[in-house]
Copies of this chain bind each other. A is one copy, B any other.
Amino acid sequence: MTPPTQPAHDPVPLPPGFRAHAGAAGLRERGDDVFVVVNDGPSPASSAVFTRSLFAGPSVVLSRQNAASGTARGVVVVAKNANVATGEQGMADAREVLERAADAIAVAPGELLIASTGVIGRRYPMDKLRAHLDGLAGATFDADAVALATAMMTTDTHPKTARVEVTTTTGGTAQVVGIAKGVGMIEPDMATMIAVLFTDAAVEPGVLDSAFRAAVDETFNCLSVDTDTSTSDTAIALASGAGDPVGEVELREAFEAVCLDLTRQLARDGEGATKLLTVEVTGARDRAQAKRVAKAILNSPLVKTAVHGADPNWGRVAMAIGKCHDDTDIDPERVRIVFGDLETYPAFPGEAELERLTEIMRAEEVTISVDLGVEGGAADGSCTVYGCDLTREYISINADYTT
């Protein structure tokens, strides 16, 4: 497997077996806002995970149904409008979008997945969507991953793509290409905003599903920009089988690499963010405890503002750990807090190390490591989570620009 690359704006072709179209239906003022991807096979497999929000919209409800087969043939993504809390009419609109898109690419509506994000509580502009989708039958399906990632952006500042190559069982290579969007209302729980992975590897749906879920659990589910969970989170993996078979371990590792790359891009591009904040917790009773403590630190507004101000305020990290008061096996006397590679608690850095500490805090990536030292802690009692600092710009984006 090659290390992931972040080609930003250079074209990133989809793997063999996929065709895509990105176009402008007029949902936003300029630029593409709808895309449709077709999985031409020869052996389509799919997996998808979704938000657990009680207010999940029709897109999530319908995709959950259509994903159950494990052999979805394509995805349609609508930007700028989440189609959430829109009642029965919203469900009817979503069904119609699925049907028209399915017609255009000659698959059954039940073989297509749908994802939407954007404003909550407004109906799709159906006239614009109908006109756009009905024109797709004659359109050229040659969009690359960057075009797709761009078409689904909302307040993202750049399209997010990632790509790795993975060795097949026959000694050749298959590709995994991923796209993602989302920079606010982000604390995914079982899924992220919208992410789609494509691979030409030949893989059974069950294997694809378990590899994808394992990768999501280590990456998108360890991401939080602002503790708010979207009503629309959707992560999808599609395999065409146009390439050779890939082993399950290799596939999971490739998925993890792509998802981790996208997760870090999402965190770094969090609304108003100036820094990527990574929190690593070790020495916990189990992974669940490590994740709980790591999230408490990552989501603390006082830790996030300290990171923004480059203030090595380890007292706020201690405070955030202290919030997990049901974890009574955490003993403050055994806890270690490290900023970058410098221990700040219990061994507070001396004057000689303050310059190094300032340097660590001023970097564009800040890592806080905590060893809980829980007695009898499990070997897997660790977790790494990804977020960002909290800035005035987050307030501006979400307070001043009314929706």
Report which A residues bind B (CB closer than 8 A). Answer: 51-56, 82, 84-85, 87, 119-121, 184-185, 189, 226-231, 299-302, 305-306, 308-311, 313-316, 318-325, 327-328, 330, 332, 345-346, 348, 389-392, 394-396, 398-403
What separation, in Å, do the CA atoms of A345 and B87 have in the docked complex?
A: 11
Contact assessment for A316 and B54 in the assembled complex, using a CB-CB cutoff below 8 Å: no
Per assembly, the copies of the chain total 2
Cβ of A54: which chain B residues have Cβ within 8 Å of it?
A: 321-322, 324-325, 327-328, 330, 332
Q: How far is the CA of A318 from the CA of B122 in the complex (A)?
A: 13
Distance (whole angstroms) from the CB of A333 to the closest CB of chain B: 8
Interface centre among A53, A323, A348 (most CB of B within 10 A): A323
Interface of A is mostly: loop
| A119→B311 CA distance, assembly (Å) | 13
**CA–CA, A230 and B313, complex, Å:** 14
A324, closest chain B residue (CB):
B54
Q: A152 to nearest B CB, angstroms?
A: 19
Q: Which residues from chain B contact A51 at a C-beta distance below 8 Å? A: 322
Of all chain B residues, which has the CB nearest A315? Answer: B120
Contacting pair B121 A322 (CB below 8 A): no
Which residue of A315, A324, A402 has the most chain B CB atoms within 10 A of its CB atom? A315
Q: Write out the residue numbers on chain B whose beta carbons fall within 8 Å of the beta carbon of A401.
A: 309
CB pair B332 A85 closer than 8 Å: yes
A–B Cβ pairs within 8 angstroms, 20 of them: A54-B324, A54-B325, A54-B327, A54-B328, A55-B322, A82-B315, A84-B318, A85-B332, A121-B318, A226-B301, A228-B301, A228-B323, A301-B394, A305-B395, A306-B398, A308-B399, A309-B401, A311-B403, A390-B399, A395-B395
Contact (A229, B323) CB under 8 Å given A54-B332, A87-B346, A330-B54: yes
Are B400 and A229 interface neighbours, CB within 8 A? Answer: no
- A313 CB contacts on chain B under 8 angstroms: 402-403
- A391 and chain B: residue at smallest CB distance: B395
